[in-house]
Structure 1
Amino acid sequence: MKTIVYQKFGNTEVMQPVEEPTPVIKANEVLVKVKAVSINPMDWKIRKGEMKLMSGSAFPKHTGVDFAGIIEETGSAVTHFKKGDEVFGVVKNNMKDGALSEYVAIPSSNIWKKPAMLSYAQAASVPIAGAAAVAALEKTGKIAPGTDILVNGATGGFGMFLLQLLKDKGANITAVSNTKGTAVAKRWGASTVIDFTRENVLTQQKRYDIVIDLSGKMGYANAKQIMKPVSLFLNPTPRPIEIPTSLFKNLFTAKKHIVILSQPSSKNMTMLLNAIHEGLQIEVSRIFPFDQSVEAYQYAEAGGIIGKVAIEIN
């Protein structure tokens, strides 16, 4: 089968298409013929060696975490799925496994049935970004009408889910985006949009109850300037050192630094599937074919993407 691997840490030039044997499934697994894979920042952070403490340094490594496709074979212990089912899901170990292949062997607990109204590319875009958005929503606590929330880096995949999940809470949502993201941020639920190419949110007078930094570029130290005396800074892209240090520093301030760690689960996928059936939009701004996987990652890593980028495999 066709797959993408890399033999050392680095930029997109280390990615190589190779042929590997089709995986053999275990009793609790299914073999999925992959139709689409979504691109996430996690992919290139692992590939560049930024997460080697968790991913390890053994090669070759594969890439891609969430996917959608068709079940080709089921293990003897699998009862809820059958051959031919259209599904979406995540690899077993997102630090070590990869989905950017013609076939993947996946535990049946890591897949869900694909809603008929979604394309494969849309379904592949749900697990990682969607689960992170649900985790962020849970960390905001009870949102009262009028709560002032700032979402920085609001129109990528994470922001796409988060803005739409937040909009029904009655909060005043301010989104920070580039110029081309202004209209879509409003469509997804922002009441105010700040174009960071024209305005600096840190120099404005408004203060926020909750600041959610999806871009990872603002940082807690800067965010404190625009946070209310009692407020939350939600950080879904923490540096490893920030995980323990935030807990200690929070003992001495009412401006809390909250690290968000998430993983797709039956609970958060059920919530997302319900939201999708109720009209949650999933925008895939560009789809690349498998033989342009390197170009797809170069495009995604350049930033400024609206929604998600996906790779389709025929």
Structure 2
Amino acid sequence: MWWRAARARRRIAGARTASTAAAAAEKSCRAVVVPRFGGPEVLEVRQGVPVPDLKPGQVLVRARAVSINPLDLRMRSGYGRSIFEPILPLIIGRDISGEVAATGTSASLFTIGQEVFGALHPTAIRGTYTDYAILSQDELTPKPSTLTHAEASAIPFAALTAWRALYGTARISEGQRVLVIGGGGAVGLSAVQLAVAAGCSVSATCGTQSIEQVLSAGAEKAIDYTAEDTESAVKGKFDAVLDTIGVPETERVGINVLRRGGHYMTLQISAPSSRLTIFYFMDAILYRSYICDLSYCVFEMLSCSSNVTSDYWWTYMRADAEGLHEIQRLSGAGKLQIPVEKTFPVCQVREAHEAKEKRLVPGKVVLEFD
């Protein structure tokens, strides 16, 4: 049956052609680049941006949605200029949700076409604002079918930041009391839900517009910092305080409500109380040296009193396979959600950054890829 053999050969040839075309498409792609530091107007959507070859353990992800984080705005504006300026143009972005397009050797956890979501480490050079992003398999997890790509992309970077603080640093456990300062933001709201899932009693400060959201997330008490005196409204002592605001006033409140031996954790470093011991691991020092200009001297903070009552930690997002798996489980069960306020097509990335920078959109903003 020669025609059957010919038809089979045509099918094989067609498959090879399609595979070759797909492989060629993945060698270059569209990406949002930062050619120079500045405002939203510097962002450019470029075609033909090279896609590097995958290294062992890496996964090529076809982006469907990426969320905008404060770090993206800061990197675009020049955060870490001394490090990143020599390698401009820069692709920014940390969060992603999409499908697996290819896998490197040893990346056996995922299959082609599988829907995944995850986040890059803050120091990653090539970001996620691109049709094809590269992440290690430890930075990805299967996307719950209950979430859209836009919803999934809003979760991992913020949730992993909160996870690092609560589980990696404070090691929270059932029955403990946790205070989240700034519970209305993405990291704060993640922290509330993670602490509630751990069986903790959670209080949080937030703005008026976030009160209902924070209470719906499981907090026992939501304190409106615009209408109440936070320090007098917070009752009792806490085992852990996560300060997502990190200004002297919130630091003072957070430290004063700690139990002896408690953990104060901040996303921003200010001048810590002399009553605290500062834990500042080498990887944190290297990270700050890597991503920040070194005009800020961190070492002055290491001179503190020996009268130790509590711990002061600077915390930041870090890839954590265990944490990401738990975040995937909780989000799939509806117990960890970051509401998406507005979506933009990637071609409107300038408008999206402007909306976040000018706070025209109070909640999470997501870029969608067609």
TM-score (norm 2): 0.74
Provide the aligned C-alpha RMSD in A: 2.9
Count, aligned residues = 313
Deviates more, 1:52-61 or 1:120-129: 52-61
Q: Which digits, 9 at most, give the CA deviation of each residue in 1:17-66, with x for residues without a partner?
A: 22233514325333322100011111122222233355454311111111
Matched, 1:153 2:182: yes
* Distance in 1 separating the partners of 2:305 and 2:196: 28
Q: 1:232 aligns with which of 244, 258, 263?
A: 263
> Secondary structure of 1:8's partner?
coil
What pairs with 1:251-262 in structure 2 (closer than 5 Å)?
A: 251-262=306-317
User: Within the alignment, does 1:284 sit opposite 2:340 as a pair?
Assistant: yes
Q: Distance in 1 between matches of 2:143 and 2:254?
A: 41
CA shift at 1:71, angstroms?
A: 2.1
CA distance in 1, matches of 2:232, 2:361: 25
Matching of residues 1-314 of structure 1 within 5 Å:
1-28=29-56, 29-52=58-81, 55=84, 57-91=86-120, 94-138=123-167, 139-143=169-173, 145=175, 147=177, 149-202=178-231, 204=233, 206-209=235-238, 210-218=240-248, 221-223=251-253, 226-228=256-258, 230=260, 231-238=262-269, 244-249=299-304, 251-282=306-337, 283-303=339-359, 308-314=364-370
The more displaced of 2-11 and 45-54 is 45-54
Q: Name whichever of 22-31 and 58-67 sits farther off.
A: 22-31
Shift of 1:152: 1.3
When residues 92 and 307 of structure 1 are mapped into structure 2, their CA distance, relative to the original with a 3 A threshold, is same
Q: Which sections of structure 2, spanning at least 5 residues, go unmatched?
A: 1-28, 271-287, 289-295
**More off after superposition, 92-101 vs 186-195:** 92-101
How much has 1:219 moved relative to structure 2?
A: 5.6
> Is the deviation greater in 174-183 or in 244-253?
244-253
Structure 2 SS opposite 1:20: strand
Larger radius of gyration: 2
Q: Deviations over 1:197-221 (max 9, x none)?
A: 2223145574542332112335665
Q: Over residues 146-195 of structure 1, what are the superposed CA-to-partner deviations in whole Å (9 max), with x where a residue is unaligned?
A: 63x32111122112221011124454422111111010000112111122
What is the Cα deviation at residue 248 of structure 1?
Answer: 4.2
Deviates more, 1:248-257 or 1:116-125: 248-257
Indicate if the aligned counterparts of 1:15 and 1:294 stay in contact, CA closer than 8 A. Answer: yes
Cα distance 1:35–1:277, how it changes in 2: closer, same or farther (>3 A)? Answer: closer
Cα distance in 2, alignment partners of residues 117 and 292 from structure 1? 27
Distance across 1 between alignment mates of 2:160 and 2:54: 26
Q: 1-side partners of 2:161 and 2:187: how far apart?
A: 7
Single out whichever of 67-76 and 116-125 deviates more from structure 2.
67-76
Shift of 1:110: 3.1
Q: What amino acid sits opposite 1:108 in the alignment?
A: Q
Identify which range, 173-182 or 229-238, moves more after superposition: 229-238
What displacement does 1:246 show?
4.8
Q: Give deviations 1:102-145, integer Å, cap 9, x for gaps.
A: 22233334322212112111222232111111111122234563
Counterpart residue number, 2:13: none
| Identity within the alignment, % | 24
- Mapped to 2, the partners of 1:269 and 1:96 lie a distance apart of 21
Q: Which amino acid aligns with 2:268?
A: T
Alignment CA distance shift 1:158-1:250 (3 Å) = farther
**Structure 1 residues 103 and 191: CA distance shift in structure 2, 3 A:** same
Change (3 A) 1:205 1:154: closer
Letter in 2 for 1:89: G
Q: Tell me, which stretches of 5 or more residues in structure 1 are unaligned?
A: none
Q: Once the 2 structures are TM-superposed, how far is the Cα of residue 251 of structure 1 from its aligned partner?
A: 3.9
Distance in structure 2 (CA, Å) of the matches to 1:225 and 1:88: 35
